[in-house]
């Protein structure tokens, strides 16, 4: 059970961290100042949540590594994040589509975890849920505004969705680790998360006048197993450069 828990904590922490890192790539490039502040603040929340999960994972792994070590010294194959969050930002439509699909899933997952029999998990999740509630509200509004906006923004959304949709297979399918953790009362029911996610996506896409693609059913890679697309390695190379070049450096 401890191994399952460690794997699951890495999935949560790694997904939040990589999503946060991708958002921060917009720093200095966002379409408007307010938008830049918002993207960075969402990224900051996610990096903070990642730290909470990775600290717990590091304590359970108990081999002397801390959360920073897990974040900055693990290779791509040891990362357990969702494939969705490691995809490149693309244009603003792709960025917001990724954000919305992740937020809608993240909200349901944290909601389940806030009832966890593990008090530490419940505490981290309850705190994160307050933040993710705002993230989801904001990204939902953007999907509606872009989808039901101008001809240009509608076309951009139509182009963005197929680029990332195939990676959503990981949001609606669970594996044995998650099944066992659910049986043990540690995480919510993955099947309920999937249904709630599908319903939220259908609602928001409908009000954004966007068609919902057929459910993604298979993808040959799995972030949960450490089998990533080529984009994660490049992201980690940038994110981990400093701690790798100067191990154990301090301010």
Integer Rg of the chain from CA: 18
The DSSP letter of residue 223 is G
3-state secondary structure of 29: coil
Report, in Å, the least distance between residue 40 CB and another protein: 8
Which of 106, 85, 109 minimizes the C-alpha distance to 178?
109
Smallest distance, Å, CB 22 to another protein? 15
Q: How many residues bind another protein (CB under 8 A)?
A: 28
Residue nearer to another protein on the CB measure, 119 or 176: 119
Query: 90 to 119, contacts with another protein by CB under 8 A?
Result: 119
What is the nearest approach in angstroms of another protein to the Cβ of residue 241? 21
DSSP three-state, residue 94? helix
Q: Which is nearer to another protein, 22 or 228 (CB)?
A: 22
The span from the CA of 68 to the CA of 243, in Å, is 9
Q: Which of 29, 73, 77, 130 is close enough to bind another protein by CB under 8 A?
A: 130
Binding part of the chain for another protein, among 36-44, 81-89, 187-195, 216-224 by CB under 8 A, reads 36-44
Cα torsion 99, 101, 102, 105: sign:
positive
Structure tokens at 29: 């490039």
Chain residues that interact with another protein, rule: CB under 8 A: 20, 34-35, 37-38, 41-42, 44-49, 51-52, 119, 122-124, 126-128, 130-131, 133-134, 137-138
């Amino acid at each position: 059970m401890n191994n399952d828990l460690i794997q699951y904590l890495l999935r949560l922490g790694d997904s939040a961290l990589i999503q946060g890192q991708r958002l921060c790539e917009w720093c200095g490039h966002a379409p408007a100042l307010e938008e830049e502040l918002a993207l960075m603040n969402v990224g900051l929340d996610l990096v903070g949540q990642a730290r909470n999960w990775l600290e717990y994972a590091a304590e359970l792994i108990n081999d002397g590594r801390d959360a920073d070590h897990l974040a900055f010294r693990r290779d791509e194959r040891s990362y357990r994040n969702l494939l969705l969050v490691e995809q490149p930002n693309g244009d603003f439509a792709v960025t917001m589509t990724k954000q919305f699909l992740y937020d809608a899933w993240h909200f349901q997952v944290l909601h389940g975890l806030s009832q966890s029999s593990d008090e530490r998990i419940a505490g981290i999740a309850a705190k994160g849920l307050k933040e993710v509630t705002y993230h989801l509200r904001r990204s939902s509004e953007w999907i509606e505004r872009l989808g039901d906006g101008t001809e240009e923004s509608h076309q951009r959304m139509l182009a963005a969705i197929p680029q990332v949709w195939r990676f959503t297979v990981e949001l609606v399918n669970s594996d044995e680790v998650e099944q066992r953790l659910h049986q043990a009362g540690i995480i919510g029911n993955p099947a309920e998360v999937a249904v709630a996610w599908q319903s939220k996506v259908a609602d928001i896409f409908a009000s954004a006048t966007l068609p919902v693609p057929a459910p993604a059913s298979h993808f040959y890679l799995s972030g949960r197993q450490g089998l990533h697309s080529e984009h994660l390695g490049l992201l980690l190379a940038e994110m981990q450069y400093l701690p790798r070049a100067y191990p154990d450096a301090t301010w």
